[in-house]
Amino acid sequence: DAGVTQSPTHLIKTRGQQVTLRCSPKSGHDTVSWYQQALGQGPQFIFQYYEEEERQRGNFPDRFSGHQFPNYSSELNVNALLLGDSALYLCASSLGLAGVRSQDTQYFGPGTRLTVL
């Protein structure tokens, strides 16, 4: 049973560039949430996708956008990269919008480490 997978593992970009991160949810899950975790901080919620639509969004600018595909996989896009976007980007999957409230139903991927120079 494949867990949550993310690609790439590491990425280095320069300011002003654009980046796309990818996530495949755990088998059987249909909801994907994205988080940004700066060094020494807790993860911060970016947005959540369900049925190919953005359902909830955290306090992030429009430079952060996403997409969910029919197979439930998801992409996170960040435009006009800033130095402050350097962080670990985590994807978490769950079953349905209500699934995330139940114990042990939100699984995290290993993350993508983004460095902006």
Partner 1 sequence: GQNIDQPTEMTATEGAIVQINCTYQTSGFNGLFWYQQHAGEAPTFLSYNVLDGLEEKGRFSSFLSRSKGYSYLLLKELQMKDSASYLCAVIASGAGSYQLTFGKGTKLSVIP
3-class DSSP state of 91: strand
For partner 1 (CB under 8 A), the number of binding residues is 30
Q: What is the dihedral of CA 79, 80, 82, 84, to 10 degrees?
A: -20
Q: Which is nearer to partner 1, 17 or 102 (CB)?
A: 102
Q: Is 20 an interacting residue with respect to partner 1 (CB under 8 A)?
A: no
According to CB under 8 A, which one of 13, 45, 73, 95 is a site residue for partner 1?
45
Q: Is 101 an interacting residue with respect to partner 1 (CB under 8 A)?
A: yes
**What is the pattern of x (binds partner 1, CB under 8 A) and - over residues 66-85?**
--------------------
Sequence-distant (≥ 6) Cβ neighbours of residue 86 within 8 angstroms: 38, 114, 115, 116
CA–CA separation, 24 vs 91, rounded Å? 9
H/E stretch holding 99 reads helix 96-99
Q: Which residues make up the interface to partner 1 (CB under 8 A)?
A: 33, 35, 40-45, 48, 50, 55-56, 58, 88, 90, 92, 97-98, 100-104, 106-111, 113
